[in-house]
Amino acid sequence: EVTGTTIPPLNGQQGPWALFVLHDITKQKKLEAVRKDFVANVSHELRTPLSIIKGYTETLVDGHHDIPGADRDKFLRTIQRHTERLNSLLEDLLTLSRLESINPGLRRESVALSSLIASIIDDYRARPAAAEHQLHFAIDPTVGELLIDPLKVTQVCENLLDNALKYTPKGSHIDVSARIRDQEVEVCIRDNGPGIPADDLPHIFERFYRVDKGRSRDKGGTGLGLSIVKHIIQLHGGRVWVESTLGQGTAFYFSLLVRANG
Ligand code: ADP
């Protein structure tokens, strides 16, 4: 698998060079395995909605005179739901591929984090789905302005809030807080929902990883939300992590660098 010229001995010592080449092959193999996995996952995710859309469309086309109106409406709504699912999947895939490209398009500007979070929460409070939850936020007033891409950090907050809304029952509490810790601002989105099993926690940020596949799909999830969160925060030089206790709730954290003087 190694192509190219033979590596000349360096002061008669070949060891480090041979090691380097081996290391490179392992990395290439790993990348190839990840790519294959990814293609298999995407194909699998596309197949279900496509076959449902195909099946219902064929039924409607073949038997449209005999299908009672109520059934026809039900079929059409199913087609619509699965088309939306395909659309979300495609959007999340494009977002991920942009974030992973050489130019991920990070547009940093000076942003007051408290105003950004306040406006995100306001938007959520106006949504019917959020009316069933208790949404609160508390931002340490010393947090101030950060050099971040406001649209991308908004997407991070939205993905985490969407999850908190999706995976907790009606009436649950969702608290967003931010404070300064060392040289970072730490943002936390905490819910008092069902929590995530300890075995699943190490994998939760992987693409297409879901604790409960059926539930995620029913809620319109693509399994890519947390992967997008991780990429955006890492592009900002920050960290993302999760703490969760079954039956008590989940807290997702992300950190962003405090802006250097002025
Ligand atoms: P999805 O599109 O499935 O929501 P994500 O990457 O956003 O994909 O999340 C991955 C999985 O993590 C979800 O399918 C769900 O099982 C779990 N999860 C995420 N957030 C929460 C939460 N707040 N409470 C419980 N489980 C969660």
pLDDT digits (tens, 9 = 90+) for 45-97: 999 999 999 999 999 999 877 888 888 999 999 999 999 999 999 999 999 99
**pLDDT tens by residue, 122-181:** 999 888 878 889 999 999 988 989 999 999 999 999 999 999 999 999 999 999 999 999
Nearest to 259 by CA among 142, 165, 84: 142
**pLDDT tens by residue, 185-226:** 999 999 999 999 999 999 999 999 999 888 888 888 999 999
193: Cβ below 6 Å to ligand 1? yes
| Two structure tokens written together for 187 | 């943002």
Task: Work out which ligand 1 atom sits closest to the CA atom of 189.
Answer: 23
- Please enumerate in sequence order all residues whose Cβ is within 8 A of that of 217, keeping only pairs 6 or more positions apart, or say none: 48, 85
96 alpha carbon, distance to own chain's centre: 9
Q: DSSP alpha helices (H): ranges in the chain?
A: 15-62, 69-100, 113-125, 150-167, 213-218, 225-235
> 92 C-alpha vs ligand 1 centroid, how far in Å?
14
- Predicted pLDDT at 2: 47
- Predicted pLDDT at 139: 93
- As a whole number of Å, the CA-based R_g of the chain is 23
- Predicted pLDDT at 216: 86
Q: Which of 95, 161, 210, 222 to mutate to test the pocket of ligand 1 (most atoms within 8 A of CB)?
A: 210
- Predicted pLDDT at 227: 97
Cβ neighbours, 10 Å, residue 71: 13
Nearest to 139 by CA among 178, 97, 187: 178
**Beta strand pairing status for 240-245 and 249-257?**
antiparallel
| Two structure tokens written together for 251 | 């807290």
